[in-house]
Chain A
Amino acid sequence: MKILLGDNQFFGVNHFDLEKGQATKLKFDSPTKIESFIKESLSIGLDGFMMNSHQIGYDLLSTADFDENKEIHYSIPYAHKYASMVNENGMLSLLNHVYKNSSMLENISVGLKLLLTKDISSITPLAVNLEIPSQLKKGSYIYIQNIMTDLLIGMGRSDVLIKFIECAVKMGYKPGIITLNPILVDKILLKHQNTEWIRDLIVCFNINKDGFNVFPSLSIVEKFIKRKAKYKLMGMSIFASGAANIPSSVEYIKKLRLDYVVFGSSKIKNISNNLNLFKNER
């Protein structure tokens, strides 16, 4: 099982304690502090790190150099940016944003396609291109964030998810899907078991001993994990956002035999302790 550093601490996300989240955000108030924290985490033995396409994440991966042997897992889009856009200027502002920020050549080709088909999946390559820094190491993982994944599932547009995967692969990256509805994603992927990308794909979802934010239920997700999918499985929120007892959570997660886990902390000491717990019987 590979172990990754999460990025929630950098953006003040703490699902358990809002005040703690805010305090953590202040600790990482510059890209340099984030960069050095990631490097220190990697140096003590983590296999890689996750980073969101928040402006800080984008800038960091455009400029910083990380150990070649470590994995970069980059997730798009930064949903809050787009939510604000919709709040301020309505739904169509999303399309405008994608077009305004893309090259003319891409615009003409994709614009024509959209005009002819009116199918939103045709703008997927533009949107993906826009969110990924050109300097991002090929072979890294590109994930679609859960807010987009789960919205597309609800809209009945799982084909756009597949388009995203194909697009990431075409660009030289490995695909990933973050979701809070892993069973629904699994149903979608059943039709794609023979694709070339299926074994590279990572599906990342909540799993923790307490069943906190594990949907539709802990027992159903446990059964799904045991079934051993063709694609790789990554557990997130493994400590129930800090509410759980860490040693027993690690014991629980280790028994599941996932391919990856991701966890965050604002303290190197905590990361080191957690890593040791994982390594004991790794």
Chain B
Amino acid sequence: MYGFGRMGLTHFSILNTLNNDINFSIVEPNKILRKILIKNIDAKFYSDDSKLNTPYDITLITTPPFIHVKLLQNCLERGDKKIFIEKPFGGHTNIDLTNNLIGKNIFIGYVLRFNPCVEWVKQNLDTKKIKSVHGQYLSNTIEKKPKGWRNSTYSGVLNEMGSHILDLIQYLVKESKYNLISSKIKSVVTDVDDIVEAKFKTDNKIDVSVYLNWVKKDVRKPIFSINIEMIDNKKFFIDQQQIKIYKNEKIVKIISVTDLQTQVPYYLRGVDFTNQMIDLIGETTSIATVEQALEVNNTMNQIYNHENTARR
């Protein structure tokens, strides 16, 4: 594992409980944190990967995004078999699918794919009938101006949360090319983007819009939602907890997360986090691929670089 921040700790705890036989090697450059971790976590700790030459079965890169690409190259050179990188892989500026990434087992941590409601929609949505999609993310994650990289190009609501929503839209709609029509970016607490709005049209003429806000004071827990409008007057509303299906503006079915039985051997921050790790150490059928993640980066890059993006 590279990096032992909040996400590193989460994945470590899940993997450690799913399989008692995993031997962990952890690269954590922060000296103080490393000294504390050595005495508290059953793993080998290193300040860098210069002495790690034997290929690993699974590598997790849970560092800030600006170092993802460099560390991935180290993993590929070493011959690691499966590589998992936290989202957004390398941030919005990382958009090129280089030859050495093609066909490799490289996966990106878009965990919302493993939400039971999302999984249900994925299995029951007729993607040929989609007319428009709206994705939304609301939270009160940032209350004070953050320090370090979280207040820089690699952070912001679009990189950190919007990438999840864009991946979900891509995953459900099965379209990867999004052509930006308009966008607005606003800084409220951080020096980067705290509120982002954008509209796109896909190559197949599906209207897509997103609204992201991580400084919304009245929200206690992060909320994401996806609205999908179909050409036959059907609509789907999806959030973490339920799916509402409308026909001609009337609700015809509500499916709650409580109806979607999901059992996991160990629960930490949601069944989605555990199921993501189960998929990673298993068949890797639902986890986001590097190709899909680069498409998300491409869409984010369009928003940040769009000449008509209104910045307030």
Contacts and interface: CB of A to CB of B under 8 A. Distances in A.
A25 B221 CA distance: 12
Nearest to A146: B267
Interface string B22-60: 000000001011011011111000000000000000000
A25 B220 CA distance: 9
A88 B155 CA distance: 11
23 contacts: A13-B221, A16-B257, A18-B241, A21-B220, A84-B143, A87-B6, A88-B143, A92-B30, A118-B40, A151-B13, A151-B268, A153-B17, A154-B12, A155-B9, A155-B40, A157-B40, A212-B258, A215-B265, A215-B267, A216-B263, A216-B264, A216-B265, A241-B258
A217 to B, nearest CB: 5
A181 interface: yes
B267 A150 contact: yes
B54 to A, nearest CB: 24
A16 B242 contact: yes
A17 interface: yes
A118 B38 contact: yes
A87 B142 contact: yes
Interface string B128-170: 0000000000000111101110100000000000000000000
B16 to A, nearest CB: 6
**6 residue pairs, one from A and one from B, having the closest CB atoms:** A154-B13, A118-B39, A243-B258, A212-B258, A180-B267, A88-B146
A155 B35 contact: no
Contacts of A15: 241, 257
B255 to A, nearest CB: 11
Nearest to A121: B40
- The size bracket of the interface on A is 35 or more
Given A16-B242, A22-B218, A120-B40, 20 more contacts: A13-B221, A15-B257, A16-B258, A22-B220, A87-B142, A88-B143, A91-B5, A92-B33, A118-B38, A151-B9, A151-B13, A154-B12, A154-B14, A154-B16, A155-B13, A157-B40, A211-B261, A215-B265, A217-B263, A241-B258
A184 B266 contact: yes
A18 B237 CA distance: 13
B38 A88 contact: no
A136 interface: no
Contacts, number: 125
Counting chain A CB atoms within 10 Å of each CB, the highest count among B4, B13, B258, B261 belongs to B258
Contacts of B32: 92
B240 to A, nearest CB: 7
A155 B8 CA distance: 11
Interface in B234-290: 239-242, 256-259, 261, 263-269
A211 B116 CA distance: 14
Contacts of A210: 258
Counting chain A CB atoms within 10 Å of each CB, the highest count among B4, B40, B143, B240 belongs to B40
Nearest to B190: A88
A84 B144 CA distance: 9
Counting chain B CB atoms within 10 Å of each CB, the highest count among A84, A88, A90, A119 belongs to A88
B121 interface: no
A184 B30 contact: no
B26 to A, nearest CB: 12
B116 to A, nearest CB: 10
A147 B242 contact: no
